[in-house]
Amino acid sequence: MRQFLIFISFAMVSALGFSQEIAKVKGIIISTTTEQPLESVNIVNLNQVIGTSTDDKGAFEIRANVNDTLHFSYLGYKSIKVKVTNDWLKFGETKIEMTELALALEEVVVNQLKLTGYLVVDINQVPIKTNYRYSVSGLSTTGYEAGNNSSGISKVLGAIFNPADFLHSIFGKKPNELRKLRKMKEDDEIRNLLASRFDREMLMVLLQVDRLDLDEIVRQCNYSKDFIQTANDLQILDAINECYEEYKVLSKSRSN
């Protein structure tokens, strides 16, 4: 009887441990052109908002459940989405192929400065980035960015009375996207991936918006055109997060 009870207890503990095991999928990413593994492919679980990348052998491992969607992106290759299936979880590592894009470089014209030697004349030829930041008393963030000095104050005042209505109209009916914003802010792997990107693709996929809406969100949050054009994806993410946090602070102040 005692041995039977020990056996039952052992079985229950084993079953509990198995049920608590975190589901993960493994795979290897290869190029359809070269049939060689691809290193540093960006992989994001769009449902759980976690990310990883492939190693030097093209291998990866990421936490996932059945029906989760994984997004694969790599410079010079067509991005793909793959849904996690029971077979993938059950049988382990799988091979995924990515197709190379035909890249055409656009013509770039470089205009050199023609210096005259006269400081008064030459200084007017030097391009100046017109990014200005203005802080608002009572907010813990670094403030607002304006396109030029003359319009900066009006942008701050505009933000006080209408502090991110466009952002709210985009995400107000999408609570899942707002939760993704918070998860993206907290996940170090996602942040590392975004810090090296400038194409906005991962942000658009995660937030379910197109490029025009994404740029408009940042613009309505009082960031300059220069910032929108030069910021990496992580900076854009932080700008949107900052804007939404300020929106919540100001909205709470209004209601009180």
Predicted model pTM = 0.67
Which residues lie below 8 Å from residue 149, measured CB to CB, with a gap of 6+?
130, 132
**Confidence (pLDDT) at 130:** 53
**Confidence (pLDDT) at 22:** 80
- What are 81's strand-pairing partners? 71
Give the chain's mean pLDDT.
Answer: 75
**Confidence (pLDDT) at 233:** 93
**Confidence (pLDDT) at 81:** 95
Give the burial class of 47: count Cβ atoms within 10 A of its Cβ; 0-12 exposed, 13-18 middle, 19 or more buried.
middle
Q: What pLDDT digit, counting tens, does each position of 109-149 carry?
A: 555 556 566 665 656 655 555 555 544 444 444 554 554 44
Q: What pLDDT digit, counting tens, does each position of 60-119 carry?
A: 999 999 999 999 999 899 999 999 999 999 988 899 999 998 754 445 555 555 656 666
The domain locations on the chain are 21-113, 128-255
* Span 163-192, average pLDDT: 73
Q: Is the pLDDT confidence value at 150 over 80? A: no
Give the burial class of 144: count Cβ atoms within 10 A of its Cβ; 0-12 exposed, 13-18 middle, 19 or more buried.
buried
**Confidence (pLDDT) at 210:** 87
- Comparing 171 with 218, the larger pLDDT belongs to 218
**What gap in Å lies between CA 128 and CA 226, rounded to an integer?**
11
Determine the CATH number of domain 21-113: 2.60.40.1120
